[in-house]
Structure 1
Amino acid sequence: MSQIADSVVSPLSSFDYSFQPGQKDEVFSEKGEIKPHWVYLLESLKELGAEAFREREAKALRILRDDGATYNIYNDSLVPNKVWELDLVPSLISSEEWGGIESGLLERAELFNLLLKDIYGPRDLIRLGVIPPEALLCHRGFLRACQGIMLSGNHQLINHAVDLMRGDDGKMWVLTDRTQSPSGAGYALENRTVMSRIFPSLFRDSHVHRLANYFQRLRTKLTTLAPNQDDPRVVVLTPGAHNETYFEHAYLANYLGFHLVQSGDLVVRNGFVWMKSFDGISRVDVILRRVDDSFCDPVELRGDSQLGVPGLLEVARAGRVVIANPLGSGILENPVFLSYLPAIAKALLGRELRLNTVPT
């Protein structure tokens, strides 16, 4: 569990956490028994002791500061770069429960991928009356200029993030979907890295599911999407150092081995996107963007944007550069769609979704 703060604090520093009858609890069962997947962690922390735990908290804060892990708060002139807070008592999910959640997330990602293809393709859902035209055409996230622009292969939505909450029924519910340029993966990786240094034995013996597979698959997917397979070049497009998640942009670019660029580093010439450097210009094949849809091209989208690349959309339309996630995918964040999601799922998947969505 992570949030924004100047220091690292733990809710269990005194280790006096106890069961409260009648309240929903992640640690205790309804019978007041510690859930099996929490036993080893809590026993290890109690054995460590409060004083030693506070020393680990201080060490974690030093690591985060040394790594430059920050979350920039807009309009906060007093503390523009707040240290990313890592709670050393994590929120645990058992492998058994996560298996069901993971299946539901994969299913949801496939549904939103099919929905995106229909929105900028045939729009069968409107034609069949599954969703009203105004849910799509009247939303600012719908970009008519992106009609017909498709990535090669079956998957258009490369990254899909979901906010989850525990409902009164004890199950995980979906709060919202993030489809433009989802953030969080880099912070999760930083969290894991710090935890493995603070509690090496505890982290190892807990058999935590690794994140490396996600990043390996992301890197492979992006490079295979490149129009130029001889020497594909992938870049991470960031709004700049003042963006609230800039640390993550730089962290991911370094971890994945991609160039981190801003709009001024890119230029469109002769129908291609090029990256400028001291050695000249190099062709760009794939852009992993952290810039919102409408800011990516001041020529065809938002004219006052200084964060985008003039002419970018035309190059994408010609299939000479791949943008992930595709421009226009922000329409999927329209909360109106959540009201029609059961009908959309039946139309596109032929079944109901495993994960329920919080009503809007």
Structure 2
Amino acid sequence: MAKKQTAAANHPGTEDDPVFGYRALPDIADEMLDREGNVRPVWQRLLATLGRLDETELANRFARADRYLRDAGVYYRVYGAKEASDRSWPLSHIPVLIDEKEWAAVSQGLVQRAELLEKVVADIYGENRLVREGLLPPALVASNPEFLRPLVGVKPADGHFLHFVSFEIGRGPDGNWWVLSDRTEAPSGAGFALENRVATTRAFSNLYAETHVHRLAGFFG
């Protein structure tokens, strides 16, 4: 959601006026408001909940989420020139909400993308048609430090080269979702996703129960 400072930016709003003067930035797609400036349906329940909370209660709920992350030891490591340092994990207390129908279309596209990446890796370690037909520069493969030349021609026992695929997505200026990066290596970010969900659930436990948010347990199971 695009951020805009207003005179009431620190106030949660009211049930009658939950956005309290918030306006989308010009020419930037906004997650909460549509093109006409109306609150998207998927956000209405969350905003109604926030509108019933005063500033003290809202601050207490946010602090509850932050306290959970500290108690659970959630942090990220920054590697400097001489030594590494640990920093607190920055939690966005207000989650990004995506409508069920919109997410169905996004997830379908991500599944297709994952299947494409699987086929590309399978070809690189198999028939190598992409390089042979000039669709993939040879140097791009050969100079990659992650490319394991001794495994060319070796087929995985389960038939899959990629066991973990994740995508960083964001909404572009045209309102459509863009894939900003692909990740197929160690699933280090999965733990942060789970901890984010646990922390925000503790802040808004009743809201998560009422809105039937997609659970993450299936992935970890």
Flag whether TM exceeds 0.5 (same fold). Answer: yes
Q: Give the match for residue 42 of structure 1.
A: 47
> 1:152 and 1:13, CA in 2 relative to 1: closer, same or farther beyond 3 A?
farther
Give 5+ residue unaligned stretches, structure 1. 2-10, 217-360
- Alignment partners' CA distance in 2, 1:71 and 1:131: 35
Partner of 1:164: 169
Distance 1:31 1:63 in 2: 38
Higher strand share: 1
Q: What is the distance in 2 between the residues matched to 1:30 and 1:147?
A: 51
**Partner secondary structure for residue 158 of structure 2:** coil
Taking only aligned residues, the RMSD between alpha carbons, in angstroms, comes to: 2.3
Contact kept? 1:21, 1:32, Cα under 8 Å: no
User: Which AA in structure 2 matches 1:139?
Assistant: N
> After superposition, what is the alpha-carbon deviation per residue over 1:56-96, rounded to whole angstroms, capped at 9, x for unaligned?
12221211111011111112989922221222111111111
Counterpart amino acid of 1:58?
A: A
Q: Distance in 2 between matches of 1:12 and 1:67?
A: 30
**Letter matched to residue 24 of structure 2:** Q
**Aligned counterpart, 1:85:** 90
Q: Map of 1:245-256 to 2, 5 A cutoff?
A: none
Matches within 5 A, 1:1-360: 13-15=10-12, 16=20, 18-20=22-24, 22-23=26-27, 24-75=29-80, 80-216=85-221
| Contact preservation (8 Å) 1:57, 1:88 | yes
TM-score normalised over the length of structure 1: 0.54
CA, structure 1 residues 21+139, in 2 after alignment: closer, same or farther (shift >3 Å)? Answer: closer
| Residue deviations 1:187-218 (CA, integer Å, cap 9, x gap) | 111111122222110111121101111111xx
Residue 178 of structure 1: CA displacement?
0.9
Deviation at 1:17, TM superposition (A): 5.7
Change (3 A) 1:21 1:109: closer
Per-residue deviation at 1:39?
0.6
State the shift of 1:21 in Å. 6.1
Question: For 2:177 and 2:67, how far apart are their aligned partners in 1?
Answer: 34
- Please report the TM-score for the alignment, with normalisation by the length of structure 2: 0.85
Structure 1 residue 180: deviation in Å? 1.9
Deviation digits for residues 233-292 of structure 1 (CA, Å, limit 9, x no counterpart): xxxxxxxxxxxxxxxxxxxxxxxxxxxxxxxxxxxxxxxxxxxxxxxxxxxxxxxxxxxx
Contact 2:66 2:199 in 1 (8 A): no
Counterpart CA distance in 1 for 2:113 and 2:52 is 41
CA shift for structure 1 position 147 = 1.8
Deviations 1:132-163 (A, max 9, x none): 32222233332212323332233221101111
Provide the C-alpha distance between the structure 1 equivalents of 2:93 and 2:193, rounded to a whole number of angstroms.
13
**Count of aligned pairs between the two proteins:** 207
Runs of 4+ in 1 over 6 A off after TM superposition: 76-79
| Structure 1 residues 170 and 188: alpha-carbon distance in aligned structure 2, compared to 1, 3 A threshold | same
- Is the contact between residue 118 and residue 161 of structure 2 (CA under 8 Å) also seen in structure 1? yes
**Rounded Cα–Cα distance in structure 2 between residues aligned with 1:18 and 1:116:** 46
**C-alpha contact (below 8 Å) 1:12/1:89 kept by paired residues:** no
**1:40-67: per-residue Cα shift (whole Å, max 9, x none)?**
1011111112211111122212111110
Secondary structure of the 1:154 match is coil
CA distance in 2 between counterparts of 1:20 and 1:109 reads 33
Give the Cα–Cα distance (whole angstroms) in 2 for the partners of residues 46 and 79 of structure 1.
42
